Amino acid sequence: MNKVTSIVHEKEGVIKYQLDFAVAEPVDAQRLKALQQWRLTLYQLGLIGQDPERYGGLGYGNISQRCFSDDAHDLPENAWADIYDAAVALAESQNPDDRSGFLISGTQTGHLSELTAEHYALVNHCDPLNNHIIASGPVKPSSEALTHGAIYALSPDIQAVIHVHSPEIFALRNQLLLPSTPDHVPYGTPDMANAVRSLWSEGKLKSAPVLVMGGHQDGVISFGRNMTEAGMAMLNVFQWARALRLAEEAEAGHVERVTAF
């Protein structure tokens, strides 16, 4: 296996974990259908992408799904609080690592409007507490694969994870009552994995499967039992953030009111 050891470096898009990577064929495109649909939606909203004005011009945002996700749940049928309780119970009865493999968008793919199977890596093993990933595919996994792994490690019920960058959600995180990892914890580190686990075990992720990464500029994560659940959770928060911002701007007199005659 071709071993790549990276240097610890706090910069968007830079791989910080120890990666054992083997070049391999892409997975069957059929398995990427839900991932691809949501990745496109998030790209169109600017939540995943690349912007010369932001983060030193590096790509941002990434998306993943467990290898054996069955997509049995199309839309959230229950309140998230009930789902959370079931996910906690399942985590206590099963080892989440038993199903730890996941497919994730590749590193530095943010600038592409549409991805193909060539742009996804398979993470075969992820150990967030020891900063170690074993992966294969046509491309190396996202620099934030370790954070995705930390979310999957919470419960086998978690089947999909989305990480975006949203200045709106990040700035309004207190008004939106979003749980946040501490500001001094950088992304993709064992400390981040521990911080996420604390939020989970303290019940702070019970009201919605969304959290802000305090130490990662504009970083937001959502997750769910499938891509739809994770995606809808993110879109809901994004919509609230935009509505709040518009309301704030209107109050400050920054929005021109149209006067009807």
Minimum distance, C-beta of residue 249 to Zn ion, in the bound complex (Å): 26
Q: How far apart are CA 94 and CA 130, in angstroms?
A: 21
Q: Which range in 39-47, 107-115, 130-138, 216-224 contacts Zn ion by CB under 5 A? A: 216-224
Q: In this structure, what token pair is assigned to residue 105? A: 């968008």
Q: How far apart are CA 60 and CA 49, in angstroms?
A: 6
Q: Which range in 64-72, 106-114, 198-206, 215-223 contacts Zn ion by CB under 5 A? A: 215-223
Number of residues that bind Zn ion (CB under 5 A): 1
Binding string, 170-209, against Zn ion, x = CB under 5 A?
A: ----------------------------------------
The residue written with tokens 């080892």 in the block is 95
Q: Which range in 37-45, 172-180, 198-206, 219-227 contacts Zn ion by CB under 5 A? A: 219-227
Q: Which residues pair with 83 in a beta bridge?
A: none
> Nearest to Zn ion by Cβ — which residue?
219
CA 191 to chain centre: 17
Minimum distance, C-beta of residue 260 to Zn ion, in the bound complex (Å): 44
Amino acid at 200: W
Residue 136 DSSP SS3: strand
Residue in 254, 243, 61 with CA at minimum distance from that of residue 166: 61
Burial class (CB in 10 A: 0-12, 13-18, 19+), 258: exposed
Minimum distance, C-beta of residue 241 to Zn ion, in the bound complex (Å): 17
Minimum distance, C-beta of residue 163 to Zn ion, in the bound complex (Å): 6
Q: Which range in 32-40, 115-123, 191-199, 212-220 contacts Zn ion by CB under 5 A? A: 212-220
Q: Interface residues with Zn ion (CB under 5 A)?
A: 219
